[in-house]
Amino acid sequence: MAAPNCVFCKIVAGKIPCLRVYEDPSVLAFLDIGPLAEGHLLVIPKDHAERLEDMPTDILAHLVRQLPPLARAVLKVTATDSYNLLQNNGKTSGQEVPHVHFHIIPRKAADGLGYRWLASSYPAGRGEEIRRQLVAALA
Ligand code: 5GP
Ligand code: ZN
């Protein structure tokens, strides 16, 4: 199902052009219009879902199965051996387009993109408490 005013639903419907790389009945992959690097791909479900956890799991599983061949094609064409897979959910995470999408971003040495990984650590007992809450939330 398409959502009105969703830019990626409009791309799926062909109402907004894109540079299509792959499609099948439920998945579309196309070049990001604002690439972080040449070959930066977006991989989306054709049916609208805002966030990963909103997606039917069979469609999600099918989409994820398409990622390795797409990543291999990106690596081959961009002549590198590295990429980031990025999937944002929610505004605070950086999600600008509220239609699930996976970024495949090829990386090269000295590409200047950098990587913010501001690792911290748990104070004594806090990791155990968070683990307890997560396990309870899964029940
Ligand atoms: P987000 O920040 O939501 O994870 O990423 C959204 C991505 O969609 C951005 O990288 C942006 O460049 C891309 N994008 C937004 N609008 C369009 C569009 O109309 N066409 C294409 N090809 N990409 C788009
Ligand atoms: Zn949509």
Q: Which residues are catalytic?
A: 101
97 in contact with ligand 1, CB cutoff 6 A:
yes
Residue 1 has pLDDT above 90, yes or no: no
Is there a contact between 12 and 24 (Cβ–Cβ < 8 Å)? no
Q: With CA atoms as reference, report the closest residue to 7 among 25, 26, 32, 24.
A: 32
Probe residue for ligand 1, chosen from 28, 96, 104, 113 as the CB with the greatest number of ligand atoms within 8 Å: 96
Residue 109 to residue 28: CA distance in whole angstroms: 29
Phi then psi for 38, rounded to 5 degrees?
-55, 135
Assign 34 a pLDDT band (cuts: 50, 70, 90). Answer: very high
Is there a contact between 12 and 97 (Cβ–Cβ < 8 Å)? no
Question: pTM of the prediction?
Answer: 0.97
Q: With CA atoms as reference, report the closest residue to 74 among 84, 63, 59, 64.
A: 84
Q: What is the pLDDT of residue 115?
A: 86
Residue 67 has pLDDT above 90, yes or no: yes
pLDDT digits (tens, 9 = 90+) for 85-131: 999 999 999 999 999 999 999 999 999 998 889 999 999 999 999 99
What residue spans define the domains of the chain? 7-113
Q: How far is the CA of 22 from the centre of ligand 2 (A)?
A: 18
Q: Which CATH class is domain 7-113?
A: alpha beta
